[in-house]
Structure 1
Amino acid sequence: MNSLALGLRLVVRGPRATQLRFLLMTLGCALGVACLAAALSIPAILAAHDGRAAGRDVQGGPSSGALFLERKDPFGSRPLTRIFISPPKTGSVPLPPGVERVPQPGEVVVSPALRDLLAERPGLKGALPGRVVDTIGPAGLTGPQELYAYVGRTRAQLPADEARPLGGYGNRWTAPDEAAIDDGTVAPLRFTLCCLVLLPLFVYLSVCVRLSAEARSRRLASLRLLGLSARDTMRVSAVETLCAAAVGAVLGVGLHLLVNAFVAQTGWVGLAWYPADGLPSAWTLAACLLGCPALAYLAGRRHAREAALRPLAVRRQAQPGKPRRWLAALLVLPGLGIVTAYCVLGVLGVHVEPSALTSFLVPAGALLTGAGLVLALPPVTAWLAARVAATTQRLPLTLAMRHHEAAPGAALRVVSGLVLLVYAASLTQGVLVELDQVSRRTAPNQEYEVPFRQVTAEQRGAMVKADGISGRAVTAEVVSRDGDILFATCSELEKLARPGTVRGCVDGRPLALHDPFAHTEDTKQPGTTHLVKLRNEAGQAAGSARFTVPEETVTFAAVQPSALSSALLLVPPNTLPPGVHPAHARLVLSGAPEPEAVQATLDRLAGIAPTAQIDPVGIVIESLRQLSIVKGLLGTGMILGLVIGVAAFLVSATDRAMDRRRRTATLTLLGIRTRTLRAAQCAQVLLPLAVGIGGALVAGRLAESSYLVTGGGAVFWDGEGLPLLLLSGLGVLAVAGLASLPMARRHLDPELLRRD
């Protein structure tokens, strides 16, 4: 019988323990490969999103004879894109992607999500004049939840100064405006996902393929002593490992396909995609179906090689060699050196600009520190265990420390996944802090502008009273275009301006406005007269009004950017007759500046006036969408990392308990109480875990701070997230301690005490 057939027979016809171990190895590899496939599919999903956005980008040109006009408006916190097309009387028009025919005047082609929204909100049809005749296919949409429409119009219905000739669709040279994530965010996102998913996944797969390593090594040593050659012994070990890894890889890819089909269109990560976008690419399949077995082979080769070359030492359980300190130092010292150097620059107040060098050094330092942190656990904890065992007088602690001193590498598999999880959580927190300060407004409020002509008086009243709206005013553009006139009371001005900056305001009369922080020159111009055209609620002309800039001046500081920056005159609202407003008036509202509050306010305002153009001053809706996508992807990475870390701990802890059954039975036979054994087992798990989590917190904070220092933001040190990380570390210690208690049992199995 050759070695391959022997290995297959041992797997298929072996004892029940061997078959159970093979099943656990297979399921463990399946879970790990599913997480790996999910992480590797994220770039493909983003690339498919951006590719379809670039393929439908409207290009100007005189070739078709058609005209087009593009409008992008926020519908709540979601962008609504409308492409108005005026086809020529004769000739063909280029077809947009996903559209079977170009809509004629009076016809509309909408996306499925917009079609459903029209059924819920009939008032939105005012923004889409015409009859819905078809829906856009997946080829013309970035995702199933996108709001997109093509509207057919005549040439007379399109503004002559804005309509452009339609040349075709597709932009191959520049990035699309609807890119899922901009280029500056892709690099830190990839780096964070690698730390969150790939590092714990490597540890987890190594744990899965080394289940019952001690028992398997003893079995291989027995085969070697029975006359099997060293090469055949290695092949027998490789058969079981590769079979489990290969079957687990296939199951993992299938599990990823099922989860992708279920999650794709939910949009729970901030981005909805088509299931076909998440299908694994050739490189992803190669990494899963070939990389996982290769990793399994390399992980199991060490113990198989030791059993093949030193079978007597394995059977007699000889003392293992000491951990290699030089390998841990080789990784820890450069990594900590890089991140510490940037932290020192931050302490000294040196502002490090983002560059290609920092984009390489900071991720490299963080990855080296994380890998070195895991490899440094065996030598550090072995040294600490020897010191504790030499000074303690308690039997449980002595048993735990002496056993850990003898085999420090065994505990590494138990705690390494949780240690990396805590380390990656700190890095993720730094990325979120950096993204938050880049996207967050530093002003105390957020302003919204709504054109008066697009909303009725009832809608304006409902907007002013909507939840989250704290201030209001009306601005009107003067004919001379020198600035705007602000119709508001002093209290309304104080709610829109920066707190405590309004000086000299008196209600009941017009006053000049001056912002000394935004304009160094004098903009008051007393005696200047401005003419404002008026309209009634029906949109008809209602005469005009003249306002003269007085000597009395109100100084204030507007938030930046602000709709009040160009205001030069403050006029009481009751100056105009009831039901009359300036011709080019805009309603200005203010609310809280937090991104969540901005999204909620936009949704409320859009619910009141679906067809109105609501402009959040200084904020691009695409930025809000990208921020939600990044947070969703990082949250997904955290969930995957948590699943991998907990699974690695449970698998390795259970496997280690199975390996220690013989030693536990021997100690029980010698009279050691079960309570003592459980205390020793708990201490043996908590010592390396406490040391690892402590090191992960310190190293993670250094890596996080180095990222913040080089990120270009104003925040160098994140103190708000430290209590959460400390509580998380204590929670991990508590769960690990409780999980280790049932591992010691009083039941004695005679088979465990038999001497071979």
Structure 2
Amino acid sequence: MGVRFAVTGGREGWIRMLLTAVGVGLGVALLLLTTAIPNALAVRDQRNEARQDFTYGPHRAKAANTLVISHADTTYHGKDVRGRLVEPEGPRAPLAPGLSTYPAPGEMVVSPALKDLLGSGEGKLLRERLPYRIAGTISESGLVGSQELAYYAGATNLASRIDTYRTARITEFGRPDTSSSTDPMDPVLILLVLVVFAVLLMPVAVFIATAVRFGGERRDRRLAALRLVGSDSRMTRRIAAGEALAGALVGLVFGTAFFLLGRELAGSVEIVGISVFPSYLNPSPALAALVAIAVPAAAVLVTLFALRGVVIEPLGVVRTAKPTRRRLWWRLLLPLGGLACLTPMVGQGRNNGNFNEYLVIGGVLLLLVGVTALLPWVVEAVVARLGRGGIAWQLAVRRLQLNSGTAARMVNGIAVAVAGAIAMQMLFAGVEGDYTRSTAKDTDRVQMQVSLPQGVPFLPAAEKFATTEGVRKAVSLGSTDLGDGRFGPGKGPDNTVGLTVGTCASLRAVADLPACRDGDVFTVTGGDRDADVTKLARPGRTLHLDASNGTGGGPDVVWTVPGDLKRGRALDGLTGIKESRVLMTPAAMSQRMSATLTGSVYLSMDMSAPDASEHVRNTAARIDPLANAIVWSATERSQRFTSIRTGTFAGAICVLALIGASLLVSQLEQLRERRKLLSSLVAFGTRRRTLSMSVLWQTAIPIALGLLLASAVGLTLGAVLLKMVGATVGVDWPSVLSLTGAGAAVVLTVTALSLPPLVRMMRPEGLRTE
């Protein structure tokens, strides 16, 4: 009977069920998206592994089934561009995933996103860097995401450039079995993942619980009419549960439709650098079935729970009389229970095994549920003490005093989201130092470095970079190793020392030198490996240069230490290493020796110049397509930690979008229920501006209280989590204020969007009835 009332209740019933279905549907869509995330991540990993192009092991000889492939990755406007130069050496050369054939020399096959970028005005500088004709596109099987920038370009003579860094000869694609060397997951990172899932999913559950209670006051009045015609109280509650069940079931349909729509749109968006193809987002059947069962069951349980304090009699609903005060004691048990779950793990850190996942999830959920339980009591206790003020203020306060529960329910979701976000931010900030290390690079002197392949002339490169837009100064150095034996397969030299070649001005960046002119050779001491320099660099001794380029082969290039060696003192180098070595000016070395050097150009930049780093990368690509230009930073962060943090921000954006949409639906539902009241006030002469301000105050007061409570709970949860991982408890107040401000901004935006419907409802014609 309840289901029939929901479906055949006329326009009012349909609107009520539609609002409930939309609210539930938004939550269901996000839950389905969450169940699809593990599969999406797994597919991304599989696609990435399937196209791995370095085979670890002995270097292969040319054959009919070999392919020479070089890494030519670059970065453009902060986005990574995956580049590969390819040269098939036979008819059975392995074909890269996503390709039907390899491009000819001078041509390239690109991803759809890269094709769009190169065809737009924004890709002008990148087109200069990739001087190849587009001959096709990479299919989905060769990409990890729909917005990935990637290309394969045809090349020649790559075999002469095989090394251990950029170029390899392979017979198949795919990562070799490295399971034995896989590092176990850090317990603190596991804790981060558990907390992230609990914090991101909790607001979704709160919104679903709120959505099934839309239209509560009108529903109770209808139930009173049923009592008048003979329904008893238990039957009445079952009918109410049936109505909620109908809305939840339609919400499942809406949620599925929203998810399928969002799934198709997912291919055209990128969130925090992550993109997927629609085919990736396939929910786990078991988890999808759990959502399908849990949402209707929750709708029924929430409805029965909501009716426990409402007396529905044949002559009306006993709720507008003075309500009983909400009890505080049982509401405090929830956060206290959460603290009790987490407290045994305080001080455990990462050295005492994994955290108990059930206690972690249970503790976090209880603390966040505590927000939803405490907020109605807080709102009721505060608004009961609010008094005189303007007409808009009095209208708002009186409405909150009569029914503070509805206002608190509307704010519950945002409060839970903010509390969880504050705790996550504290935890991330507290452990960030453990996953961030100093690079020791002198970023005041150098902002970019360009690494050149072995044998590429590095001294002329400095001149080209010096004239590049945005470059103030270029220092070019070449390096290799000197040894007392030949470099190559087998034993190799017993002792080695570094050799650095450059102009006198460039060498002074790494050592304190006496008078210097081209042709001089120096032994530099005062850093690491003084003994090796003293032992090897003796006048008249013959030393061998490392010409193997990491391949274990190469010619035997020798050098005889001259008798007129000069001495210098090592300085903290550009890379932060103070190393004893042999320094040499260009005129002191032969042509064969120069071919063994690997060059690096260190650039002092004017980073305020427009696209300075992009101009440098373009110059590097013109010098050699395999040159690698990187921007220096003082620190670098763990890849796993960065991935978790990136995923968290992507999830938080989705949750905030859900919060905004659900709040708007909730606000419209409340305005619809008060339409006749608003029309009556306008008919009596109340100004529309006054009513609009009263609606704003009705939103602002609960949200202010909710954000204060969320901040308190979030800070408490964050402090406990930091104690668990053994980190120092500290509060990043700017982050806390920004998160609470974001929550307030979402609510104010929703309120602003609800003003046009409010104005339409504030008409005397709203009093008409049939």
TM range (shorter): 0.7 to 0.9
Q: Would the aligned equivalents of 1:473 and 1:588 in 2 still touch at CA under 8 Å?
A: yes
Shift in alpha-carbon separation, 1:641–1:711, aligned structure 2, 3 A = same
1:589 aligned residue (595, 602, 611): 602
1:40 aligned residue (35, 40, 44): 35
Q: Would the aligned equivalents of 2:19 and 2:669 in 1 still touch at CA under 8 Å?
A: no
CA distance in 2, matches of 1:649, 1:329: 26
Shift in alpha-carbon separation, 1:421–1:751, aligned structure 2, 3 A = same
Shift in alpha-carbon separation, 1:400–1:136, aligned structure 2, 3 A = closer
2:236 aligned residue (226, 233, 238): 233
Q: Would the aligned equivalents of 1:533 and 1:582 in 2 still touch at CA under 8 Å?
A: no
Residue 20 of structure 1 and its aligned partner are, at CA, apart by: 2.0
* 1:214 aligned partner: 217
Shift in alpha-carbon separation, 1:217–1:278, aligned structure 2, 3 A = same
Q: Would the aligned equivalents of 1:422 and 1:693 in 2 still touch at CA under 8 Å?
A: yes
Matching residue's letter, 1:410: T
SS at match of 2:601: strand
CA distance in 1, matches of 2:426, 2:661: 25
1:533-572 CA distance string (max 9 Å, x none): 899xxx9999978567956433422466x6x665614456
Q: Does 2:204 correspond to 1:191?
A: no
Greater Cα shift, 241-250 or 160-169? 160-169
SS at match of 1:280: coil
CA distance in 2, matches of 1:712, 1:519: 38
SS at match of 1:39: helix
- Pairs within 5 Å for 1:91-240: 112=111, 138-139=140-141, 141-143=143-145, 145=148, 147=150, 174=179, 188-189=192-193, 191-196=195-200, 198-230=201-233, 232-240=235-243
CA distance in 2, matches of 1:663, 1:582: 88
- Pairs within 5 Å for 1:276-355: 276-303=279-306, 314=317, 317-335=320-338, 355=353
Residue 298 of structure 1 and its aligned partner are, at CA, apart by: 2.6
1:262 aligned residue (255, 260, 265): 265
CA distance in 2, matches of 1:237, 1:632: 43
Residue 46 of structure 1 and its aligned partner are, at CA, apart by: 0.6
Residue 603 of structure 1 and its aligned partner are, at CA, apart by: 5.3
Shift in alpha-carbon separation, 1:212–1:719, aligned structure 2, 3 A = closer
Q: Would the aligned equivalents of 1:335 and 1:368 in 2 still touch at CA under 8 Å?
A: yes
Q: Would the aligned equivalents of 2:435 and 2:637 in 1 still touch at CA under 8 Å?
A: no
Q: Aligned-pair RMSD on alpha carbons?
A: 5.9
CA distance in 2, matches of 1:65, 1:174: 30
TM-score of the superposition, structure 1-length normalised?
0.73
CA distance in 1, matches of 2:638, 2:692: 52
Query: How many residues get paired?
Result: 715
Shift in alpha-carbon separation, 1:86–1:735, aligned structure 2, 3 A = closer
SS at match of 1:228: coil
Greater Cα shift, 444-453 or 333-342? 333-342
- Pairs within 5 Å for 1:256-655: 256-264=259-267, 266-303=269-306, 314=317, 317-335=320-338, 355-357=353-355, 365-388=363-386, 404-405=400-401, 407-430=403-426, 433=429, 438=435, 441-443=438-440, 444-445=442-443, 447-451=449-453, 453-454=455-456, 461-464=463-466, 465=468, 467=470, 472-480=475-483, 481-487=496-502, 489=504, 494=509, 512-514=523-525, 516=527, 528-529=538-539, 552-558=567-573, 566=579, 568-571=581-584, 581=594, 583-590=596-603, 604=618, 607-609=621-623, 611-614=625-628, 633-655=647-669
CA distance in 2, matches of 1:570, 1:94: 44
* 1:656 aligned partner: 670
1:216-267 CA distance string (max 9 Å, x none): 1121121123113455434433443333332332233223223322332554
SS at match of 1:357: coil
**Structure 1 gaps, min length 5:** none
Shift in alpha-carbon separation, 1:611–1:651, aligned structure 2, 3 A = same
1:51 aligned residue (33, 46, 50): 46
Q: Would the aligned equivalents of 1:505 and 1:554 in 2 still touch at CA under 8 Å?
A: no
**Structure 2 gaps, min length 5:** 120-125, 484-495, 548-553
Shift in alpha-carbon separation, 1:416–1:710, aligned structure 2, 3 A = same
* 1:74 aligned partner: 73
Q: Would the aligned equivalents of 1:69 and 1:84 in 2 still touch at CA under 8 Å?
A: yes
CA distance in 1, matches of 2:733, 2:717: 14
SS at match of 2:482: coil
Q: Would the aligned equivalents of 1:94 and 1:169 in 2 still touch at CA under 8 Å?
A: no
Q: Would the aligned equivalents of 1:215 and 1:659 in 2 still touch at CA under 8 Å?
A: yes
Q: Would the aligned equivalents of 2:345 and 2:355 in 1 still touch at CA under 8 Å?
A: no
CA distance in 1, matches of 2:180, 2:240: 51
CA distance in 2, matches of 1:629, 1:338: 28
Residue 435 of structure 1 and its aligned partner are, at CA, apart by: 5.8
1:571-602 CA distance string (max 9 Å, x none): 566877999956313123257899xx999688
CA distance in 2, matches of 1:164, 1:321: 79
Matching residue's letter, 1:188: L
Shift in alpha-carbon separation, 1:15–1:118, aligned structure 2, 3 A = closer
Greater Cα shift, 655-664 or 687-696? 655-664
CA distance in 1, matches of 2:695, 2:269: 44
Shift in alpha-carbon separation, 1:708–1:590, aligned structure 2, 3 A = farther
Q: Would the aligned equivalents of 2:108 and 2:152 in 1 still touch at CA under 8 Å?
A: yes
SS at match of 2:625: coil
Greater Cα shift, 676-685 or 153-162? 153-162
Matching residue's letter, 1:21: R
CA distance in 1, matches of 2:726, 2:565: 45
Shift in alpha-carbon separation, 1:61–1:490, aligned structure 2, 3 A = closer
1:592-634 CA distance string (max 9 Å, x none): 899xx99968855664456214275999xx9898788656544
1:709-748 CA distance string (max 9 Å, x none): 6668899553553453464466467668878989698766
1:636-674 CA distance string (max 9 Å, x none): 323222222223333333333444567778889999988
Q: Would the aligned equivalents of 1:455 and 1:612 in 2 still touch at CA under 8 Å?
A: no
% identical equivalent positions: 23
CA distance in 1, matches of 2:748, 2:626: 54
Greater Cα shift, 321-330 or 539-548? 539-548
CA distance in 2, matches of 1:733, 1:256: 24
Matching residue's letter, 1:200: P
CA distance in 2, matches of 1:432, 1:98: 37
Q: Would the aligned equivalents of 1:476 and 1:485 in 2 still touch at CA under 8 Å?
A: yes
CA distance in 1, matches of 2:458, 2:567: 34
